[in-house]
Amino acid sequence: MTSIFHSRLSKDFSSLLNDADDFDVIIQVGENDNINEFRAHSVILRARSAYFKSALSTEWVTKKDGMLHYNKPNITPIVFDIILKYIYTGELDLENHLDKDIFELLITSDELLLEELFEPVQEYLIKNHTTWIQENFDHIFHTVFELLVCEILQDFCLNIICAKPQLLFNSKNFLSLDEDILHYLLERNDLQINEIDVWDCLIKWGIEQTPSLGSMNNDRTKWNNEDYNALKKTLEQFIPLIRFVDFSSTEYFNKIQPYKAIIPNDIYEEIEEFYIKGTLPKTITLPPRDRIESNIIKPHLISIIINWIDKKDEDFIRDNNDSLYKFELIYQGSRDGISNESFKNKCNLQEPILVLIKCQDSQKIIGGYTPVGFYHFVEDVEDIDDIDYYDRFIFSTDSFIFHFEEDEDMKLSRIS
C-alpha cells in the first residue's frame, strides 16, 4: 500500500520558502525601477526546473560570500514570485493577477522549461481574459506563434480571426504574416470576411513577400513580365484558395482581371466562363465561404447574437466543433414593404425567429430573438383546438431583446 501526502508536503515546502535560513541562491529579476531579489535553494531550483539545472551550473552565475548570484532582468518580480511559489509548492494561483502578468507568466514558463504550466495558464487566459486577448490581439497573436508550446492559444487566436478577421487583416503586421498561417486561414470556410477584401490583402501580402517587389515597387502599371512571374510564384499556393465566385462582376473586372498573369490558366478559364456565361466552376475554384450576410449589422455582431442564443458569453469564440446556424431572410422592409400586415404575412408561424430593425436616420439598431416564433391568428381560424398557441402567451426563458449603435457594445435583456 502506498500512502500519498502531497498536501502536507506542499505546505512544508511553502514554509521552507518563507521561513528558511539556509538559502544559497539570490536571484535578481526585473529592470529599471522594478527590481527585486529572491532567495531560494539551488537544490530545489535544479530539481524542479531543467532551466535552472543548467543555468546554476554555468558561468552565468557568480559566487559571493557563499551565495550564488543570478540575474534575470527580463522577468518581472510579480511573475517570478508566482513561479517561485509554484516551484516550491506545486501550486499555481492566478486569481487576483493582472491579465498581462498571466500572459508574461506563460512566456516565462516557456523560457524556464516549466512544461506543467503551459496548458493551465493558456486555458485560464482563454476562460477568464478573452476580452483582454482581443483588445491586445496583435501583440498576443504574434507572440504565441513564436512559442511552440502555445498550441492552445494559437488555435484560439485563429478562431478569433475567423470571427473577427479585421483584427489581423487590418493590422500593421499583416504583411509580415507567416505563409503557413495565412494558408490555413484562407482554407477555412468560416472566415467572416468579404472575398474581395481577402483578395486585396493577399495581393498586398504577396507584393511585400516578393523580393523584387515590396514597397519600393508596388505600382503594377510599372511592372514587367518578370515582376508578374515573381508575384505568381509567391502566391501560387494561395490562388486556389480564393473563392472567385464570390466576386461581383465589377470586382472581377476591376480587381481580378488586372492580375490575370498571376492566376493559373485552368483557374482563370473557369473564372472567365463564370463571369461571361454564368457557368458555375465545376472542378477548380472553391465554393463560397460560410459567411453570415446582413445589410444591417456586421458579421462579428451576428456571432455575438449566436452566442446569446447558445447561452454563452458574448466574447465566446466559436470553432469548427460548435453548432452552425443558417439564417434565412423571410422578411425585409425594403423588399416586402414596411407594414404590420406585410410582417404578419411573412413571419407568421415561423420559428425560431430573429428580428433586426435599424432606426431611420440613426445608427441605432434594435432586435430580438425567440425560439417559439411569431404566431398571429384571426378569430375565424379553423381547427383552433389543433393550435396550442392560440389566445395566450408562450413562456420561454430563451427569448431576449437587445439594442446597440454601430461600434458600440451591445445591450442585452432577457425576457420570458
Q: Which position has the grid cell 495565412?
A: 182
Give domain status of residue 180, yes or no.
no
Highest mean pLDDT among 206-210, 242-246, 384-388: 206-210
The residue segments making up the domain with residue 51 are: 6-124
Give domain status of residue 347, yes or no.
yes
Question: pLDDT for 163-202, tens place per residue?
Answer: 889 999 999 899 999 999 999 999 998 888 889 999 999 9
Give domain status of residue 50, yes or no.
yes
Q: What pLDDT does residue 416 have?
A: 44
How many domains does the chain fold into?
3
Give domain status of residue 162, yes or no.
no
Report the interhelical angle of 77-89 vs 99-111 (nearest 10°). 60
Residues 267 and 344 in one domain: no
Question: Which CATH number does the domain housing residue 106 bear?
Answer: 3.30.710.10
Residues 14 and 118 in one domain: yes
Give domain status of residue 176, yes or no.
no
- In this structure, the number of other CB atoms found within 10 A of the CB of residue 241 comes to 18
Q: Which position has the grid cell 477555412?
A: 188
Residues 225 and 335 in one domain: no
Mean per-residue pLDDT, 82-102: 92
Q: What pLDDT does residue 102 have?
A: 97
Give domain status of residue 150, yes or no.
no
Alpha-helical runs (H) found in 164-224:
166-169, 179-187, 195-209
3-state secondary structure of 221: helix
Q: In terms of DSSP bridges, do strands 67-72 and 25-31 run parallel, antiparallel, or are they unpaired?
A: parallel
Last residue of a domain, one of 101, 124, 147: 124
- Which cell numbers hold the place of 216? 519600393
User: What kind and span of H or E run contains 185?
Assistant: helix 179-187
- In this structure, the number of other CB atoms found within 10 A of the CB of residue 338 comes to 12
Residues 336 and 260 in one domain: no
Question: pLDDT for 343-365, tens place per residue?
Answer: 777 777 777 888 888 777 777 88
For residues 193 and 405, the model is more confident at 193
Length of the chain: 416
- Which cell numbers hold the place of 48? 524542479
Residues 22 and 105 in one domain: yes
Residues 11 and 120 in one domain: yes
Give domain status of residue 233, yes or no.
yes
Question: pLDDT for 144-164, tens place per residue?
Answer: 999 999 999 999 999 899 888
Give domain status of residue 295, yes or no.
no
Last residue of a domain, one of 92, 109, 124: 124
Q: How far apart are CA 59 and CA 387, in angstroms?
A: 84
3-state secondary structure of 203: helix
Q: Which residue, 208, 83, 104, is CA-closest to 147?
A: 104
